[in-house]
A and B are shown apart, each in its own frame.
Chain A
Amino acid sequence: MRIGYYPGCSLLGSSREFGESVEAVAEALGLELDQVPDWNCCGASSAHVLDHHLALALPARILAQAEAAGLTEILAPCAACYNRLASAREALGGDPALAAEIAGISGAPFNGGVRVLNILEFLTRFQTEIQARVTAPFRHKVACYYGCLLVRPPKVVQFDRPENPASMDRLAQAAGAEPLAWNFKTECCGAAFSVTRTDLVARLSGLIVADAVRSGAEAILVACPMCHSNLDMRRPESNAGMGTDHQIPVLFITQALGLAMGIDPVRLGLQRHMVPAVLAGV
C-alpha cells in the first residue's frame, strides 16, 4: 500500500526523529511512503505573516507536484505544513478566480485532486493494524498534547473536536498507554516565537509542562515538530522561567507507537531529544 508523503523541512533537520519514527512505523505497517517529487518548503508561519499570495503559492506548488505524480492523498506529519496545505487546498477549492491567480504565480495548476492528511488522521486509519502489532505495550501514563494546528480552525481541519480532542488519546491507548485527562491539550505552546520571543515560549510551554506533570503524566506525547521543539528544546528556559526542574520527556506519538510495536529506540530517534527520554522499559 502506498501513500503520498510530504515530510516538510523540520522532519529533515530539527525534528529528524519525527521523520525517522514516521518512516519506521510506516515500514512496520507495510506502507510505502511516496515522497512528493521535488517538494518545496510550505512557507510555514513566515509566508503566512508576510504575504498572503506567497502563503498560498508555496503549498499550491506542492499540491500540484503531488497531483502531477498521480498521488491522491498525502500525509503531512508536521502540523504546520499540514495546516498550510489544507488551508491552501480549501482556499483554492472555494475560489476559482483565486486558484487561477495562484496557479499563475506557482507556475502549476492544482485541480483539487489531492487530499491532505494529518498524522493523527493517518494513524487512526491504521489503529487496528497498529494495535495488532503491539508486542511491548507502552505502559505509561501520558498527557496527549495536540497543540493548535491539528484541531483548529475546525472548518478547515474537520477532524476530531477542537476542545478536548481524543484521537491521539485513543492511539496512545491502542499502544497500551494510559492517556490522562488534563487541561492544556490544545493550549498554544508559543508557536514560531522560539527564537524571537523565547520568553513567551518559555511561559506558554512552561504552563503546558506544569499541567502535564500535575496530572500525573510520565510523558507528554505530541504530533507537531514545533510543539516538540518548544516543549523539549526550550525546557531549560521554561524551567528557569517557572523556577522548576521538570524532566518529563516529550515523545512524538509515532515514537510511542513504534516502541509499543517493538521497534528499536535508536531507529525511532529517541536519543535526539534534549530532555532525555527516560522511561521505565525504554
Chain B
Amino acid sequence: MSSAPLGPSSADTLASRLRRDLGIHLNHCYQCGKCSAGCPVAVDMDFTSSRALRMLQLDEPRLDRQVMASEGIWLCLACETCSTRCPQEVEVAKVMDFVRTEALARGLAHPKSRDILAFHHAFLDSIRTTGRLYEIGLVADYKLRSRHFLKDVLLAPKMLRRGKLPLLPHLIKGRDAMARIFARTLGKGR
C-alpha cells in the first residue's frame, strides 16, 4: 500500500455512485469484519469484503481501481451471507455485484477472472440463441473460450448415461424477444 496522500473526493467514485444509484451508504460500514468472518471464500481472496469496503469508502479513485482490479471480487459466491449478517445493514453482496460490473466496463477485470467470465459468456451465448440453456453448447463454447479442452471430459458419458444431458437444444418461440433483450443490455455499445 503506497502512502500517497488522500485527495479531495470526486463525485464519480464508486462509493458516491453506490449511494446515488443504489442507495447503499458505504459510510455506514464501521469495519467490524463480520462479512469477512462469515465469507466462505475469504481465505482465498486478495482483498476480503471488509477490506474492499474500506478501500471504497475512502472515495479515492486510486483505491477504487485497486478493488476493481482485484481477484477477490470474482471469487464471490453471491451467497448473501455477508448482507444477511451485516449489523449496519449494508448490502455487501450488491456492492460486489456493482464493482464487478464496473471492472468489466472499464476493462480492469483481473486476469484470473478469465475462466469465470468465459463460463458466464458461454452460458449467456447459449440462452441468447435458444432461449434456454443448452448444456452441450455451453460446455463446447466454454472449452473454446477457455482452452480447457479436457475439463470434465469423463463426466459427459456419465451424464449421458443417466439421461442428464439432452442432445438437442430446446428452442423457445420468443427467440427474437431474447435477441432484443440481449441487444438492449449486454450487446449495447459493442
Contacts and interface: CB of A to CB of B under 8 A. Distances in A.
Check whether chain A touches chain B (CB < 8 angstroms): yes
Nearest to B73: A49
Contacts of A128: none
Interface in A24-76: 38-41, 43-54, 57-58, 61
Nearest to B41: A200
A105 B185 contact: yes
Q: DSSP majority for the B interface?
A: helix
Size class of B's contact patch? Answer: 35 or more
A50 B124 contact: yes
A200 B72 CA distance: 13
A13 B169 CA distance: 10
A193 interface: yes
A58 B181 contact: yes
Contacts of A16: 163-164
Contacts of A233: 155
Interface stretch (B10-18, B49-57, B60-68, B113-121): B113-121
A2 interface: no
Given A53-B185, A54-B181, A105-B181, A38 B174 contact: yes
Contact of A41 (B132, B155, B158): B132
A271 B162 CA distance: 7
Given A40-B172, A41-B127, A50-B121, A152 B80 contact: yes
Given A40-B127, A53-B185, A195-B142, A12 B170 contact: yes
A200 B185 contact: no
B8 to A, nearest CB: 29
26 contacts: A10-B133, A13-B166, A14-B164, A16-B164, A38-B174, A39-B132, A40-B131, A40-B178, A44-B123, A46-B119, A46-B120, A46-B124, A49-B100, A50-B117, A50-B120, A53-B184, A106-B181, A107-B180, A148-B77, A152-B83, A153-B84, A188-B79, A191-B78, A196-B115, A200-B44, A271-B162
Given A13-B166, A49-B97, A54-B185, 11 more contacts: A16-B163, A40-B131, A47-B124, A49-B78, A49-B116, A58-B127, A61-B174, A148-B77, A152-B81, A192-B77, A195-B152
Interface of A: 9-10, 12-16, 38-41, 43-54, 57-58, 61, 104-108, 148-149, 152-154, 162, 186-188, 190-193, 195-197, 200, 204, 233, 271-274
